Amino acid sequence: MSTANTIASSVLDAAESLRPELSERRREIDELRQLPQDLADRLAALGFYRLVVPESLGGLGISPTTFCQLCETLAKANGSTAWCIFIGATSQYLFGALPQTQLQRMLENPNVITSGVFADSGTALFEERDGQAGYLINGHWRWGSGCRNAEWISGGIHEVGAQGEAVVGAPLLTRVFFRPEEIEIADNWHVSGMRGSGSSDYVAKNVWVPSERMAGNVEDGDHASEPIYQFPKFALLGIPIGAICLGMARACIDEVIGAAKEKTPQGSRRPLSSRPSVHIAVAEADAALSAARAYFYQSIDAGWAAAQTAPGSLEDRRNMRTANVHAVNTAIEVIDRMYRLMGGTSVYETSCLQQHFRDVHVAAAHMMVGEPVMELAGRVMLGLDDQALGL
């Protein structure tokens, strides 16, 4: 077995071994509204936050397929935990665009936990202090999943001049990295689903940081030839959502198959599992989910194969993004159907159905799997957009 396959097998086995504990602690995770720090630290020690970072930069360098399989496995037990790994791991994606001094500082802790928001909801104004180059940062970032567990928190930014206008022709800056104490983390994550993801807003008010804390564009950096940086960026930032939803949907089918054997509906003398309508429902759900999953991973495997030698093509991007949205939509349909099938049993906290029902609908609200993705993909198919930079 190759080294890459050994690492992939190891992290997937570790994720599988965590499922019983995650299932037992799902109420604790929800009530805390973030991952318990001991759990986050253990996930970090397993390497889950540095999954997609190239080995040359201190990461595990696994494939996007393995990354998604790991998120899918964790999500079967707890969607919030999988979501925090999704965000934390992709937050380290820009390690390849950081100045060497900052990268070394962040890797002083090999199990560093990161969080971040890619949206450029902040501004950076160049300002020297005591002879040191730096930037004055202001911004408000929403959906900061995992930020309360993180040692470093990042946010998307765009550079502005003294008058507030965008700087034309300046080196491209895409992200800034903060220490938690430098920003304000709002206590506003009071939600229906993904409660344990700790996706609070955070705000920077006139925070000065040295220029080495600013990441550029990985496609222009010294590590641009690494396959992970040839793989389409927006695909990488979106496909874990599909994987998480697929995992939750599979858990719901399994829950119904197990619980239906034990449940006798009110007014009936036979278990729910004896009803033909249940037989049809679980079979149809399994077929739909399996088909969506096959398309999902097929598109990722093709994109990863292409990334070994060249940047992803427009067709690779379109295929992965549409397969991802399809996976999410199929998972919603499956979870909703399983939820209704079990009737009143579904609403109790003893059943995973209620949590996956809540979580999948919050996951589906993410912009990376929204309707505009399919609109843009359709424009590409019709020959109306031969760039589709948003894919």
CA distances from 32 to 78, 143, 195, 256, 335 (A): 14, 17, 8, 28, 25
Nearest by Cα to 124 from 12, 207, 199 = 207
φ, ψ of residue 293 in degrees (nearest 5): -65, -40
State residue 161's pLDDT score.
78
Could you tell me the CATH superfamily of domain 113-217?
A: Butyryl-CoA Dehydrogenase, subunit A, domain 2 (2.40.110.10)
Distance from C-alpha of 80 to C-alpha of 77, rounded to nearest angstrom: 9
| Tokens encoding 282 | 């679980």
Q: Is 81 exposed, middle or buried (0-12, 13-18, 19+ CB in 10 A)?
A: buried
Nearest by Cα to 354 from 271, 248, 206 = 248
pTM (2 decimals)? Answer: 0.95
State residue 267's pLDDT score.
56
Q: What is the largest CA-CA distance in the chain?
A: 82
**Domain assignments of the chain as residue spans, ordered by start:** 3-96, 113-217, 231-381
**3-state class of 176 per DSSP?**
strand
3-96 classified as CATH 1.10.760.10: no
Distance from C-alpha of 206 to C-alpha of 286, rounded to nearest angstrom: 52
Distance from C-alpha of 303 to C-alpha of 386, rounded to nearest angstrom: 18
Detail the DSSP E strand segments found in the chain.
Answer: 114-126, 134-144, 152-160, 175-178, 184-185, 200-210, 214-215
| Tokens encoding 192 | 């229906």
Q: CA 229, 377, 304: angle at the middle one, nearest 5? A: 30
| Tokens encoding 349 | 């906290």
CA distances from 235 to 37, 129, 296, 315, 373 (A): 29, 39, 11, 12, 11
Sequence-ordered list of residues with C-beta below 8 angstroms from that of 179, at least 6 positions apart, any chain: 151, 152, 153
Nearest by Cα to 351 from 262, 255, 236 = 255
Mean pLDDT by 10 residues, the chain (391 residues): 83 97 96 98 97 92 97 98 98 90 91 94 93 95 97 93 66 86 97 97 97 87 90 96 98 92 69 85 97 98 96 94 98 97 90 96 95 94 86 84
CA atoms within 13 A on the CB side of 178: 33
Helix (H) or strand (E) holding 239: helix 239-259
- Compute the radius of gyration of the chain from its Cα atoms: 22
The residues facing 185 across adjacent strands are: 202
What is the DSSP secondary-structure string of 63-128? -HHHHHHHHHHHHHH-HHHHHHHHHHHHHGGGGGGS-HHHHHHHTTSTT--EEEEEEEEEEEEE--
Distance from C-alpha of 226 to C-alpha of 233, rounded to nearest angstrom: 13
Residue type, 356: H
CATH entry, 231-381, from 2.60.40.10, 3.50.50.60, 1.20.140.10, 3.40.50.2300: 1.20.140.10
